[in-house]
Each structure stands twice: as C-alpha cells, then as structure tokens.
Chains A and B, each alone.
Chain A
Amino acid sequence: MDVKEDKDIEPEKNERRCKYCQQPINEKALVCHLCEKDQRPFINRIKDSTSLVALIMVLIATVQILQTCSQTQELKKKRVEAEAVLTQAKGVLSNASTSSSKAIKKANYVFSNASTRSSDAIKESMNTLKIATQSADVAKAVTDKAKKEMKGTVDSVSKQSNILVGKFDNINGDIQNLKKGVSSQLDVLNRRNELTALADKAISNGDRAAFNKLADSSYSMDTAAEFLRIKSFYASFNRIPLSMDIHLDNNTSIKNDKLSTDDLIANLLKNTHWQIRGKCAHLLTSRKEKKCLKH
C-alpha cells in the first residue's frame, strides 16, 4: 500500500489518522496497520527510551568493563606485590627456621652442658653431704664426750659451790655478828666522843653550858668519868691570877684592897671578862662584914 496515496484520503467515520504515517486507521486501533506503530504515545516513548536505556546500559557496561579491567590490573599488581611479600615471608620464615634450628641446637648444647654440670654438682654435693655427715657424727661424738665431761665438771663445781655457799653463809653470819659488835662499839665510841668533846669544852673554855649538857645526859660510867675529869681539873688548877690587880672594863687598874664590896658585886654580876668576875667572887670571900648583909 502506498502511504502517500492514503494521505489524501479523508478518514471515514470511526477512523482517525495515524500519528506517524497520517493514514486513516480505525479509531480504536492501537497499532497502525500500515506503519505498524503503536498509537499510544507512552509505548512509543518506552520503545524509544528502551533504545536509550540500552545505549546507557551499554555505556555503563563499558564503564564497568573498563573499571573491571582497571581493577583487574590493580589486582594483578597486588597479586605481584603479594607474591613478593610471600617470597619475602618465605625468606624470613626460612631464616627464622634456620635461627630457631640454631637456637635449638644451642639450647640443646647448653642443656647438655647444664645437665653435665648439674650432674657434677649433684655428685659434689653428695660428696660434701657425706663429708658433712661424717663431720657431724664426729662433732656429735665430741659434743657427747664434752657433755659428759661438762656434767662431771658441773657436778664438781656444784658441790664446791655448795660448800663455798655454806662457808660464805658462815662467814656472812660472822661478818653480821662482827658488824653488830662494831656498830655497838662505834655507838659507844661516838657517845664517848660526844661526852669527851663536852668535857673538853668545859675544861678548855670553862663552858658551863657544855658542863650542864654533860650533867643532863643519862648517867653512865663514861659520863661519870668525864665529870670527874672536869672536877679534877678545876680542883687542881687555877686559871684566874688571884694576886694581880683587877682591870675593870674602862681599862682602869685598881688595887684589890681598894675595891669596895659594891664594886666587887657589880663586877661579879656585870663584867664581861670571866677572869675579873672570878676574881671578884674570890675577893668577896674575905668581905665577911656585917654590912655585907645589906647586899
């Protein structure tokens, strides 16, 4: 059928023109029976777009192929690198294996040496232990012997010390008795010394207070003896020059017979010199006069 010819033909009722070839087609026809094109616009669009999509897909596929090639190249590179690393690792492993083998050998050698040494040490220790045990036995024997001897000595010393303690107790008792005796004698001597000192004061100084103190002390042979010594002295000796004239407190010298009884009494009671008071008392002996009674 010639299309150009159909263009001139006017569509009949229930017909319309094809959107593509402009020929009259059934109004309800979906596809032109002439150009075989679908009268629905979206279907055509889809058909058109399908080509475009296919083109895009082809592009994407191409891109992906390119990417895959690139990735493949990278993978190849990485594989090469990995193989290099693997080779290197193998070398390292080999070295490590060699080193470990050497170390094991060395360790075996050291262990062997150590084992030998420890064996030697154990032997030496055993010998030492044996010697020590023998020494200990000897020492124990010596100690036992020494203990026995010591026990004998201790017993002997104990006996001796008991004897000495007994003697010491006796001596201590003697010393205590002696101490009591000495202490008693010392008390007697101290008391006698005190009495003698009092008597010495009474004699040498004419100290009446010492004499009174001696007289007030409890009576004993010692006191009586000192008393007698004092009295004997005063009965035998005269310390007041009776023939000399009296020198009064004002340094005036007066003949004995010129002194009045009043002067004698006054000087007896108040003169500060004991020799003058004594001489006044002596002179009063001869003043037995009636007038003396008034005094």
Chain B
Amino acid sequence: MPEALIDSIKNDASLDVLRYSIDAFSALTGYKSDDIFDYSPNLQLIKWWTENKSRVEKDWKQ
C-alpha cells in the first residue's frame, strides 16, 4: 500500500490528492513531513521510504 501511495504522491496531477496521499503515507509509515506537500528537490519522502522500508514492514509484521 505505501508503494501505491508513493505512486500517487509522485504522479497524481491534483494537489488535493497529493495532500491526502502524503497524509495517508505519514499515518501508515510514521513518516513526518515538514511540508504539507512534502515538496523537496531531493524527494525527501521517497528517500526516507527507501531507508526505512524494511523497518516499517518489520514493525507492521510484529
């Protein structure tokens, strides 16, 4: 599911959808964004997910 949300965050043309997708991703994974749209030239959210994916999935399994 986070992957689907990341897909939406990367590609959806609507800022409303982007906002709720980021909210959902934060709620599900524990990611905390400083920005309502998480706008960052370095794609902070995706970088974070790459680094924390295994940990988050492990937490979910537990």
Q: Hey, which bits of chain A sit against chain B, CB under 8 A?
A: 202, 206-209, 211, 215, 230-231, 234-235, 239-240, 261, 265, 268-269, 274-275, 277-279, 281-282, 284-285, 287-288, 290, 292-293, 295
Contacts and interface: CB of A to CB of B under 8 A. Distances in A.
B27 A278 contact: no
Contact of A215 (B1, B39, B57): B39
Contacts of B17: 206, 268, 274, 277-278, 281
B16 A275 contact: yes
Contacts of A230: 15
B38 to A, nearest CB: 11
A293 B61 contact: yes
Contacts of A292: 1, 28, 60
B11 to A, nearest CB: 9
A215 B41 CA distance: 9
B13 A208 contact: yes
8 closest Cβ contacts across the A-B interface? A281-B20, A274-B14, A295-B1, A292-B1, A281-B21, A285-B27, A285-B24, A265-B4
A120 to B, nearest CB: 113
B37 interface: yes
B23 A281 contact: yes
A73 B7 CA distance: 162
Interface in B10-42: 12-21, 23-24, 27-28, 35-37, 39
Contacts of A239: 16
A240 B20 contact: yes
A287 B8 contact: no
B4 A240 contact: no
